[in-house]
C-alpha cells in the first residue's frame, strides 16, 4: 500500500517537472536576451514580495537572460521630505522638484532604495550593482515642462516643474559591461543633463528608454493593478498601439495608466520586442507572465 505522503511528494515533483518543461521553449528562445524590469508600487514596501522579486531576477540571470532593474520610489521620497520638513507642491499630480527636493530624491533613490534592492538580490544568491543614470553617462536628461490651463482665463500656461527630466539619450555601455560580468544592474531614475544639473526622472519613462536602447526582449512594468482592464474590469491580455489609442479615446483607460501605456508604446516602436503591464503584488508575477502559456498581465506589441 502506497504512503499518501510519498504520493503527494511524487505529485508535487511531477508538477514541478511539468512546469520546467512548459518553460523550456521560452528559455531557449530568450537565452542571452535582455529583460528590463521597472520595480515600484506597493510591492516595494512588502518584504515578502521584495524577496520574491529578487528571487525572480536571480532566476532569470541563472537561466541565461540578462535582467536590468529600474526602480521607483515616490512614496519613500514623500516620506523623507515630510520627515525633513520640506514641503511638496504639485501641479496636475506632478511634484514640482526644487533644489532641496531634488537632493532628497537623489539621496533616497540612489542611496537607500537602490542599495536595499541590491541587498535583496544578494540575499537571493545573485550579484547586483546599484547605479543611477549619472554613472558612466548611462542616461542624459533634458528638463521637462508641462502646460496647464488657467481656470480663470482658459489660457494655456507653461509650468516649470523644476529639476524634473526625461531621457534625451542612453549609452548602454555600462549596462552591457555589468551584464557581461555576470551581474545585475539596478538603476535609480536620476540623470544629469547637458547643463550639468541633476534631474529626477519618472521610473517608467526611464525603464522604457533603456529598454528601447537595449533592444530588450521584454519591458516589464510592475504596477498595483492586474494589467489593462476593459470597461467590465476584465483583463485585456494583448494590445497594439492602435488598440491603446482606441481605448484612450473611448475612456476605457485613464489616469495613471495612460502614461504607463505611452511608455510601452514608445518602447516597442523604438526597438523593444514587447512590453508587459502586470501586478507586482502577485508573487512571482513576472515568471508567471513569461514562462507560462497562461500569462499574467497585458502584453503590448508594435503590431
Q: How many domains does the chain have?
A: 1
Cβ atoms of 216 and 36 closer than 8 Å:
yes
Selection from 17, 54, 23 nearest residue 294 by Cα: 23
12 lies in a domain?
no
76 lies in a domain?
yes
* Predicted pLDDT of residue 166: 93
pTM to 2 decimals? 0.88
9 lies in a domain?
no
* Predicted pLDDT of residue 29: 81
82 lies in a domain?
yes
* Predicted pLDDT of residue 134: 96
Rounded CA gap, 121 and 52, in Å? 10
260 lies in a domain?
yes
Domain assignment of residue 266, given as a range: 31-300
Record the cell numbers describing residue 113, joined without a space.
532604495
* Predicted pLDDT of residue 224: 83
Selection from 290, 285, 300, 275 nearest residue 225 by Cα: 285
1 lies in a domain?
no
CB half-sphere exposure, 251, CA atoms < 13 A: 1
132 lies in a domain?
yes
Beta strand 89-91 with 94-96: parallel, antiparallel or unpaired? antiparallel
Rounded CA gap, 145 and 165, in Å? 8
50 lies in a domain?
yes
Burial environment of residue 158 by CB neighbours within 10 A (0 to 12, 13 to 18, 19 or more): exposed
Record the cell numbers describing residue 205, joined without a space.
519613462
* Predicted pLDDT of residue 261: 92
Assign residue 186 the CATH number of its domain.
Answer: 3.40.1160.10
**How many C-beta neighbours within 10 Å does residue 114 have?**
23
Low-confidence ranges of the chain (pLDDT < 50): none
Amino acid at each position: 500500500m502506497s504512503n499518501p505522503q510519498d504520493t503527494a511528494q511524487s505529485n508535487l515533483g511531477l508538477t514541478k517537472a511539468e512546469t520546467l518543461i512548459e518553460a523550456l521553449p521560452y528559455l531557449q528562445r530568450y537565452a542571452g536576451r535582455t529583460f528590463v524590469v521597472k520595480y515600484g508600487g506597493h510591492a516595494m514596501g512588502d518584504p515578502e514580495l521584495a524577496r520574491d522579486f529578487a528571487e525572480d531576477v536571480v532566476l532569470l540571470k541563472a537561466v541565461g537572460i540578462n535582467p536590468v532593474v529600474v526602480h521607483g520610489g515616490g512614496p519613500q521620497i514623500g516620506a523623507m521630505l515630510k520627515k525633513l520638513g520640506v514641503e511638496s507642491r504639485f501641479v496636475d499630480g506632478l511634484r514640482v522638484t526644487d533644489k532641496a527636493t531634488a537632493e532628497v530624491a537623489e539621496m533616497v533613490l540612489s542611496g537607500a532604495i537602490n542599495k536595499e534592492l541590491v541587498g535583496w538580490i544578494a540575499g537571493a544568491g545573485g550579484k547586483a550593482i546599484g547605479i543611477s543614470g549619472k554613472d558612466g553617462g548611462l542616461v542624459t536628461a533634458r528638463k521637462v515642462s508641462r502646460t496647464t490651463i488657467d481656470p480663470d482665463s482658459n489660457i494655456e500656461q507653461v509650468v516649470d516643474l523644476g529639476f524634473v527630466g526625461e531621457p534625451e539619450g542612453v549609452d548602454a555601455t555600462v549596462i552591457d559591461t555589468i551584464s557581461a560580468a555576470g551581474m545585475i544592474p539596478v538603476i535609480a531614475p536620476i540623470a544629469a543633463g547637458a547643463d550639468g544639473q541633476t534631474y529626477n526622472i519618472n521610473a517608467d519613462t526611464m525603464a522604457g528608454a533603456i529598454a528601447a536602447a537595449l533592444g530588450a526582449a521584454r519591458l516589464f512594468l510592475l504596477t498595483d493593478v492586474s494589467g489593462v482592464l476593459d470597461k467590465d474590469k476584465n483583463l485585456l491580455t494583448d494590445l497594439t498601439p492602435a488598440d491603446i489609442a482606441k481605448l484612450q479615446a473611448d475612456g476605457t483607460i485613464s489616469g495613471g495608466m495612460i502614461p504607463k501605456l505611452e511608455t510601452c508604446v514608445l518602447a516597442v516602436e523604438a526597438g523593444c520586442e514587447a512590453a508587459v503591464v502586470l501586478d507586482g503584488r502577485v508573487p512571482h508575477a513576472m515568471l508567471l507572465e513569461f514562462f507560462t502559456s497562461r500569462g499574467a498581465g497585458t502584453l503590448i506589441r508594435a503590431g
